[in-house]
Chains A and B, each alone.
Chain A
């Protein structure tokens, strides 16, 4: 028992000796945080469902370096986004801008929801109109009354 524990302990010590120290992220943590924040809003063009912040693709790395450099030059986030959309189009933005060609994208779901609600209302109204409400005949009314009386007698 003691021997196994000792060997595990020894193994752990050697493992930690092999572990490489993490390289410092950057000289400027504030800038790096800003880069992360901005690149979460940007799409990687190679692996299209990843953000620029998450992607390991070569181009994503290059683009992050480019954005980092632009930030050092004092460009604002909006200016950097503009710089990227000039080259890669609105596709790089995870939040596409509202303009005439994206109206369908932005407002389409609401239009669908509204038309679904409208057709539901229409359908329900229509149904009420088509369901003919025939009043009970005297015989039926009497039968119901007797059934109800039976119920109350039992209770």
Chain B
């Protein structure tokens, strides 16, 4: 007779557990297949301005943070002071992957620009942003057409990757970095990888 009440109660508890797990899952956080894979090769114009292209190989032997951002991205604004502080603490070098600086800004008409003009405009916008808000990045690579973003599986800015000494992606964080995310997720991993 007892089972008669226990069975529906058991089903109810199971449902509650399923809902608790399901509703606490952020559907926007898509697991990246790039974890534990070598960071995709890229060769992009960079800031500080040199004729050489930025390539991730130049960071070999270091644990570093790749931060995907753009000046038109609102959440990146929120994240920026956190990055500046992190860069000042010297705990981990940050490389900026600027995502579609010109084309991503809907207030501009990028179709009318030549590639060279687009690059100049992109660099100018980034420099202006840095002089106003500070520059946390060791390098900034300019992904003007978003192709490199596709190779890294970027689907929204900001996103951040922790890359180890061998150039392997170890973690991807979607959304802005907060002090809490840094303390609980990013920095412990960086410390462990730096050992």
Interface residues of A (CB under 8 A from B): 45-46, 48, 58-59, 62-63, 66, 85-91
Interface residues of B (CB under 8 A from A): 27-28, 30-34, 100, 104, 145-147, 150-153, 155-156
Pairwise interchain contact B33-A85, C-beta atoms closer than 8 A:
yes
A sample of 25 cross-chain residue pairs with beta-carbon separation below 8 angstroms, ordered by A number, consists of A45-B30, A45-B155, A45-B156, A46-B155, A46-B156, A48-B27, A48-B28, A58-B104, A59-B146, A62-B146, A62-B150, A63-B150, A66-B147, A66-B150, A86-B33, A87-B150, A87-B151, A87-B153, A88-B30, A88-B32, A89-B30, A89-B32, A89-B33, A90-B33, A91-B31
Pair count A-B, CB < 8 A: 39
Give chain B's interface secondary structure class. loop
Closest to A88 in B: B153
Query: Complex formed: what's the CA distance from A90 to B30 in Å?
Result: 10
Which residues of chain A have C-beta atoms less than 8 A from B31's C-beta?
89, 91
Query: Complex formed: what's the CA distance from A144 to B126 in Å?
Result: 97
Closest to B146 in A: A62
Which residues of chain B have C-beta atoms less than 8 A from A87's C-beta?
33-34, 150-153
Query: Complex formed: what's the CA distance from A89 to B156 in Å?
Result: 15
Query: Complex formed: what's the CA distance from A91 to B27 in Å?
Result: 11
Which residues of chain B have C-beta atoms less than 8 A from A62's C-beta?
145-146, 150
Q: A46-B156, A58-B104, A59-B155 are in contact. Are A88 and B33 (CB under 8 A)?
A: yes
Contact of B153 among A46, A58, A89 (CB under 8 A): A89
Q: How far is the CB of B4 from chain A (nearest CB, A)?
A: 11
Query: Complex formed: what's the CA distance from A85 to B146 in Å?
Result: 17
Query: Complex formed: what's the CA distance from A90 to B33 in Å?
Result: 8
Which residues of chain B have C-beta atoms less than 8 A from A66's C-beta?
147, 150
Query: Complex formed: what's the CA distance from A15 to B153 in Å?
Result: 44
Pairwise interchain contact A91-B30, C-beta atoms closer than 8 A:
yes
Report which residue of B28, B100, B151, B155 has the largest number of chain A beta carbons within 10 angstroms of its beta carbon: B155
Report which residue of B27, B32, B146, B151 has the largest number of chain A beta carbons within 10 angstroms of its beta carbon: B146
Q: How far is the CB of B99 from chain A (nearest CB, A)?
A: 10
Which residues of chain B have C-beta atoms less than 8 A from A45's C-beta?
30, 155-156
